[in-house]
Amino acid sequence: MDEIIKKKLAKNWFKILQDMICFDIEEIENNKKKFISNNWERNKKKDEGGGEYRILENGKVFEKVGVNFSEVYGKFSKGFRNKMPGTNSDPSFWASGISIVMHMKNPHVPAMHFNTRYIYTSYGWFGGGMDVTPCIEDRNLKKWFHRELRLSCNRHNKNYYKKYKKKCDEYFYLPHRNETRGIGGIFFDYKKENWEKDFSFVRDIGLTFKRIFREIINKKNNKKWNNKEKEIQYFKRGRYVEFNLLYDR
């Protein structure tokens, strides 16, 4: 398949998924809260792409949620070029993806994160994943969540879940605290074995996240909470921020 077609298919999927996720979130909020959309450019002096970030905040369910799409291209800086594969002879790149972070009003509903992307240098690859960060322990939720991820991964390859869960556990970890960011999930990168199969997996993971966050909210959002539990939620968000500032790529 031509690389131009691959880029277009990947980009279109990420944009469609952004629309679907935002529709679901507004529906959960009974359409009383709407996303505020902002477009951005990577370089206003040059045509290097950009994206759209959508923010919804102060809802009855979602305290703040961002659903962000991007399509950018250009050349890596000298410092960053050495960190990316496929740039030995040419620093040019193209990248598109979707990134989602959800923080909830009810402390019983965990924070949730999802992203998938397609990057092309001298060759292309997919990356992404999802994870869940509760502030109140729930072993049943953890067991259910990982069972759903395993079932989704197994539809594509029986080895994916174990492999990508391990990568997630290793990545979403705060070494100075000796603790994980949450209950894990899956994380994958440099996925380039077979484009059609990899793209099918990436689409399935997006739809799995769409279903999972709705089911978690349906199960958890009606639970009563108090100020002490809200303080625990704020404390856990501090850990979330620590990870993003210190370790997130």
H or E element, residue 55: strand 49-57
- Of 103, 108, 113, 146, the catalytic one is 113
Query: For 143-159, b where at least 16 C-beta lie within 10 A, e where not — what string?
Result: eebbebbeebbeebeee
Residue 142 burial (C-beta neighbours within 10 Å; 0-12, 13-18, 19+): middle
| 113 carries an active-site annotation | yes
Q: Which two tokens stand for residue 69?
A: 């799409």
Residue 92 burial (C-beta neighbours within 10 Å; 0-12, 13-18, 19+): middle
Angle at 144 between CA 140 and CA 147, to 5 degrees: 140
**Residues carrying an active site annotation:** 113
